[in-house]
Amino acid sequence: MKRILIIGIGAGDPDYITVQAVKALNRVNVFFLMDKGAAKVKLRALREDICRQHIKGHAHRFVEAPSPLRDTQPADYRASVDELNAAKQAVFEAMIAGEMKDGETAGILVWGDPMLYDSTIRNIEAIAASGRQAIDYEVIPGITAVQALAARHKIPLNRIAEPVLLTTGRKLAEGFPEGIDSAAVLLDGEDTYRRFADQDVEIYWGAYLGTPDEILISGKLKDVAGEIHRRRAEARQKNGWIMDTYLIRKARGPYE
């Protein structure tokens, strides 16, 4: 039997690693890495730094495979996601088959938390269900980018007695759902917040959270939307990639 540990490693700061995750890191024989594009080198370096700081005297190795490409403008979004996950499953299965011995443990290091807008659990679950590989797996939670964002801006995510929505830029483009005034937004490659710049809305935005490249901007959206758009474009041009998230909410008094 081979064991897979799906480990949430936080938003980038090695200090975001939980004690449970540190213990998990020290059980791993081989780490599977799968990145693409310009982010590949820096994201690997961040993972290696996390391992260097937290693994003590336990022999381990890294195995890297190219991440399948995704259609960024698909005609059918759900179908494109299914195709991407099927391709990722094939890559993971090949690594499990070719890079692990029976009895070994592999680690997959997931940015933020594996339970929030990440496909790794679904992909490993599908591989296990296929029966082609004799594997068992565990999931270790991590610090999400949303938590890191709120901490860095020194704010609570929700107002008193109100909910907060976790959503994507694609869904936010449809508007705030009924009864929702606060939304934490991930996976927004289209600067969807700009659609609300003519409304009385606040935003707390952050990019590369927990890393030396971190950028934080907050304020009335109408006042800072242009700055966020500019800084985001500049950072993406400079680094070749960007990981960002934001909290957007309808403005009210502090005790409303």
**Prediction pTM value:** 0.92
Residues 190 and 149 placed together within one structural domain of the fold:
yes
Residues 18 and 129 placed together within one structural domain of the fold:
yes
Q: For residue range 91-134, list pLDDT tens digits in order.
A: 999 999 999 999 999 999 999 999 999 999 999 999 999 999 99
Of the three residues 140, 174, 191, the one that is the final residue of a domain is 140
pLDDT > 70: what percent of the chain? 98
Beta 2-8 vs 105-110: how paired, if at all? parallel
Number of domains in the chain: 2
Does position 80 have pLDDT exceeding 70, yes or no?
A: yes
More confident residue, 66 or 21: 21
Does position 69 have pLDDT exceeding 60, yes or no?
A: yes
**Domain membership flag for residue 256:** no
Residues 212 and 172: their CA atoms lie apart, in Å, by 29
Does position 198 have pLDDT exceeding 70, yes or no?
A: yes
Residues 104 and 226 placed together within one structural domain of the fold:
no
Q: Which two tokens stand for residue 163?
A: 């909910």
Beta-bridge mates of residue 204: 218, 247
Which domain covers residue 206, as residue numbers? 145-250
**Domain membership flag for residue 255:** no
Q: What is the CATH number of the domain that holds 120?
A: 3.40.1010.10
Of the three residues 140, 163, 180, the one that is the final residue of a domain is 140
Q: For residue range 199-246, list pLDDT tens digits in order.
A: 999 999 999 999 999 999 999 999 999 999 999 999 999 988 899 999
Confidence of residue 253 (pLDDT cuts 50, 70, 90): low
Q: Are 66 and 36 in contact (CB under 8 A)?
A: yes
